[in-house]
Amino acid sequence: MFIEHRTYTLKPGSTHAYLDAYGAAGFTLHQTMAPCLGWYTTEAGELFRLVTMWKFNSFEERLERRAMLNADPAWKDLMARVQPMVTDIRSNLLTPAPFWADSERGSSLLGGELAGKP
């Protein structure tokens, strides 16, 4: 399991237009392809940023789900409208530290694998 942590930088003044367009059409569609763990906007520091976090079970799953999303005509239409507002995209793939416990299971998600334990 890993989290894709994405940060989008938008053109100044376009945040509300992006959120309106994505909120109306994109979030529900995107959520069907990967569980969303967080969707945020910045209020201080580096402004005009959107930060999202998506959960995947494997890199292969991520590739498959993104391919399905990118093939969807509704997604393509949305991307044609919002991509001109984006100036930069950063994507980080995060894996849990061995000592971090998943609140649902009460155990480390990858601890044994990362620590070399069965």
Whether 48 is in a domain gets the answer yes
Tokens (6 digits) for 88 = 């930069």
Whether 33 contacts 66, CB under 8 Å: yes
Residue 9 sits in a domain of what CATH number?
3.30.70.100
pLDDT digits (tens, 9 = 90+) for 36-82: 999 999 999 999 999 999 999 999 999 999 999 999 999 999 999 99
Confidence check: pLDDT of 17 > 70? yes
Whether 47 is in a domain gets the answer yes
pLDDT digits (tens, 9 = 90+) for 88-100: 999 999 998 988 8
Whether 94 contacts 46, CB under 8 Å: no
Confidence check: pLDDT of 105 > 90? no
Domain that holds residue 18: 2-94
Domains of the chain: total? 1
In this prediction the pTM is 0.81
What pLDDT does 88 receive? 98
Q: Is 19 helix (H, G, I), strand (E, B) or coil?
A: helix
Over residues 95-107, mean pLDDT: 71
Q: What is the DSSP string of 52-110?
A: EEEEES-HHHHHHHHHHHHH-HHHHHHHHHHGGGEEEEEEEEE---TTPEETTTTEESS
**Distance in Å from the first CA to the final CA of the chain:** 16
